[in-house]
């Protein structure tokens, strides 16, 4: 494969397209609401009308307006239909000639779409995720060719460093610095891992990218491998994502067939292969060291650091671990340059961020916005606010590791330091909106229930502490706790945070701490007088 062949494949793919293209979202969300039947009926309607030479019906990835699926778009008119049913199919064909479709149209100029800046999602909903030709026609694999034939590994690394990209898995560690640490390790066996173990409740960013644009991840991993001197990559994806796994497997097969994975890619002295490892759904395996243990066939439990994975990772070899969204940014950075990417976002948080916007919100779905976008713009403008005129009470970010932001702080810009100052984190990108009927104590209890169930049990502070935090929250919800119990809740939260081995335990108290900070009156309203205390778990039981 050379650049001329790549361009020829791209041109052939464009030449095969018919004048009218009906795109059907076949990501998991739309499929769950009947998209497969819609696509079948549309194809039948085209055949019945004798329009096979003029109209094609194709599968694409996530169109982002997830709460209004199944979604169907028509090109070149750029008409988007929402909540499409199989019976709407004939009328969509009729609308091509001036008729009226029975399906509702979505406004492409709505703030939900207009205020997005897709980089990671630039191909989502536009290309067939099961066609490598479609990806190449959209410019795919040209950034890999550029790196392998025009840049040294050091120059490739420099582009990523100058971009200012920070890890999108939650911690926000500078990507270029992480890559450089692995690159500086002595030559020998090194690995690249794509962490696709997305486990936060309400989060579906990584799943959507894998389902919609799998070749983008393969290309990002290959570029990373070239920059750091690795020849082997693993994608660690949870078993609950069968469609993503299916499309990743097909993408790897296609890339091998086109010699875009394997030996001497683009005739360069660079070999790279990618394997998939399927996780069993353990949330703790999102932690780097637990994930590596799982890949190695061991129990998914974390280990103390140092040594860090960059020094001693898979089978003791230097290992680079980035999540799906981080790697999905890499082809765009190589295509447009690090300075271009650094010009988006804020001084300390560059580029864009993908969020799964869910909860008590009018328009749920996938959004990608520049870093620094105010929360209020996301929730009120793009999401349309709470349905039926309700009021926003809080926004939860960061999943079980994050916290709840009250409505009066919604003018906060979305960036790493601003969210951290509020007692939460950006996390991988879950964003759950809560209305004024939500019990914040119950929210804290929900997340603690999740954390105690997902604790690997290796360290006592997490194993026992999360259970006791949950029991205290249960007592408070039942109206059986006193102020002394509330004090114990606060003290125990600090202890679990300070003494747990890994990020799961260290961040598990965050929803409790943030709701106590901003909604403490809700806790106080549920307490009994101190004289009625009936006994509760104490901090002393952990010693």
pLDDT digit string, tens, across residues 333-354: 999 999 999 999 999 999 999 9
Rounded to whole angstroms, how far apart are CA atoms 27 and 48? Answer: 26
Torsion of CA 86, 92, 94, 97, to 10 degrees: -170
Angle between helical axes of 205-212 and 214-228 (0-180°, round to 10):
100
The answer on pLDDT for 98 being more than 90 is no
ω before 537 within 30° of 0 (cis)? Answer: no
Would you say residue 543 has pLDDT above 90?
no
- The predicted pLDDT at position 227 comes to 98
Burial of 139 (0-12, 13-18, 19+ CB in 10 A): middle
Residue 541 — pLDDT band, cuts 50, 70, 90? very low
Give Cα 44 distance to the centre of its chain: 35
Calculated CA dihedral for residues 335, 340, 346, 350, nearest 10 degrees: 20
In the three-class reduction of DSSP (H, G, I as helix; E, B as strand; rest coil), residue 47 is classed as helix
- CA distances for 435 relative to 208, 406, 537, angstroms: 26, 10, 32
Element (H, E) at 395: strand 392-397
**What's the first-to-final CA gap in the chain, in angstroms?**
63
Six-digit token string for 90 = 């004939």
CA torsion through residues 353, 356, 357, 360, sign: negative
Residue indicated by tokens 């029975």: 102
> 360-380, pLDDT tens digit by residue?
999 999 999 999 999 999 999
Whether the predicted pLDDT of 540 surpasses 50: no
Nearest Cα neighbor of 286 from 167, 157, 370 is 167
pLDDT score recorded for residue 538 = 44
Residue corresponding to tokens 């070239």 = 226
The predicted model scores a pTM of 0.94
Question: Please, is 455 exposed, middle or buried when counting C-beta atoms within 10 Å of its C-beta (0-12, 13-18, 19+)?
Answer: buried
Helices (H) and strands (E) in the chain, counts: 23, 14
> What CATH number is given for 352-435 in this structure?
3.10.20.600
CATH class of residue range 440-542: mainly alpha
pLDDT, tens digit, 9 for 90 and up, residues 115-166: 999 999 999 999 999 999 999 999 999 999 999 999 999 999 999 999 999 9
| pLDDT tens digits along 520-533 | 999 999 998 765 55
The CATH code for residues 3-114 is: 3.40.30.10
The string of DSSP codes covering 444-506 is HHHHHHHHHHH--S-SHHHHHHHHHHHHHHHHHHTT---HHHHHHHHHHHHHHHHH-SSHHHH
Sorted by where each begins, the domain ranges of the chain are 3-114, 153-337, 352-435, 440-542
Question: What is residue 321's DSSP assignment?
Answer: E
Q: Which CATH architecture has domain 153-337?
A: 3-Layer(aba) Sandwich (3.40)
Helical ranges in 119-183 per DSSP H = 132-137, 142-150, 153-163, 175-183
* Percentage of the chain modeled with pLDDT above 90: 88
Closest CA to 366 of 244, 203, 246, 237: 203
Residue 321, pLDDT > 80, answer yes
| C-alpha to C-alpha distances, 502 to 355, 404, 429, 460, 470, nearest whole angstrom | 25, 22, 20, 12, 19
């Amino acid at each position: 494969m050379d650049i001329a062949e790549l361009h020829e494949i791209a041109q052939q793919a464009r030449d095969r397209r018919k004048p009218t293209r009906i795109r059907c979202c076949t990501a998991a969300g739309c499929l769950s609401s009947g998209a497969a039947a819609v696509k079948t009926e549309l194809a039948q309607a085209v055949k019945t009308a004798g329009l096979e030479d003029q109209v094609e019906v194709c599968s694409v990835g996530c169109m982002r307006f997830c709460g209004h699926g199944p979604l169907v778009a028509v090109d070149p008119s750029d008409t988007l239909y929402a909540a499409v049913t199989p019976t709407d199919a004939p009328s969509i064909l009729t609308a091509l000639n001036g008729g009226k479709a029975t399906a509702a149209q979505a406004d492409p100029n709505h703030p939900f779409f207009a205020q997005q800046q897709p980089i990671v999602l630039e191909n989502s909903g536009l290309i067939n995720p099961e066609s490598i030709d479609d990806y190449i026609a959209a410019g795919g694999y040209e950034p890999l060719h550029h790196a392998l034939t025009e840049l040294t590994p050091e120059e490739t690394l420099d582009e990523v460093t100058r971009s200012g990209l920070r890890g999108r898995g939650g911690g926000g560690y500078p990507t270029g610095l992480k890559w450089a640490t692995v690159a500086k390790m002595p030559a020998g066996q090194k690995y690249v891992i794509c962490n696709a173990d997305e486990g936060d409740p309400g989060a579906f960013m990584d799943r959507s990218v894998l389902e919609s644009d799998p070749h983008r991840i393969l290309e990002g991993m290959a570029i990373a491998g070239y920059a750091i001197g690795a020849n082997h990559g693993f994608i660690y994806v949870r078993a609950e994502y069968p469609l993503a796994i299916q499309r990743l497997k097909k993408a790897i097969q296609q890339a091998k067939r086109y010699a875009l994975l394997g030996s001497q890619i683009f005739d360069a002295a660079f070999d790279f292969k990618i394997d998939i490892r399927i996780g069993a759904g353990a949330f703790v395996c999102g932690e780097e060291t637990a994930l590596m243990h799982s890949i190695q066939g061991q129990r998914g439990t974390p280990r103390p650091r140092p040594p860090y994975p960059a020094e001693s990772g898979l089978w003791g070899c230097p290992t680079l671990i980035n999540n799906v969204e981080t790697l999905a940014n890499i082809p765009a950075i190589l295509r447009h340059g690090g300075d271009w990417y650094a010009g988006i976002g804020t001084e300390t948080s560059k580029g864009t961020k993908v969020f799964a916007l869910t909860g008590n919100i009018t328009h749920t779905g996938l959004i990608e916005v520049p870093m620094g976008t105010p929360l209020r713009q996301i929730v009120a403008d793009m999401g349309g606010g709470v349905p039926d005129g309700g009021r926003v009470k809080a926004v939860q970010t960061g999943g079980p590791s994050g916290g709840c932001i009250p409505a009066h702080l919604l003018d906060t810009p979305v960036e790493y330091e601003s969210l951290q100052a509020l007692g939460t984190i950006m996390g991988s990108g879950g964003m759950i909106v809560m209305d004024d009927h939500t019990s914040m104590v119950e929210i804290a209890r929900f997340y603690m229930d999740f954390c105690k169930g997902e604790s690997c049990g290796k360290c006592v502070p997490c194993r026992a502490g999360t259970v006791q935090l949950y029991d205290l929250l249960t007592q408070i919800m039942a109206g059986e706790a006193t102020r002394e119990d509330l004090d114990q809740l606060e003290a125990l939260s600090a202890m679990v945070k300070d003494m747990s081995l890994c990020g799961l335990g260290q961040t598990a108290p965050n929803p409790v701490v943030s709701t106590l900070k901003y909604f403490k009156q809700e806790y106080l309203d549920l307490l009994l007088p101190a004289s009625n205390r009936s006994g509760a778990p104490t901090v002393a039981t952990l010693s």
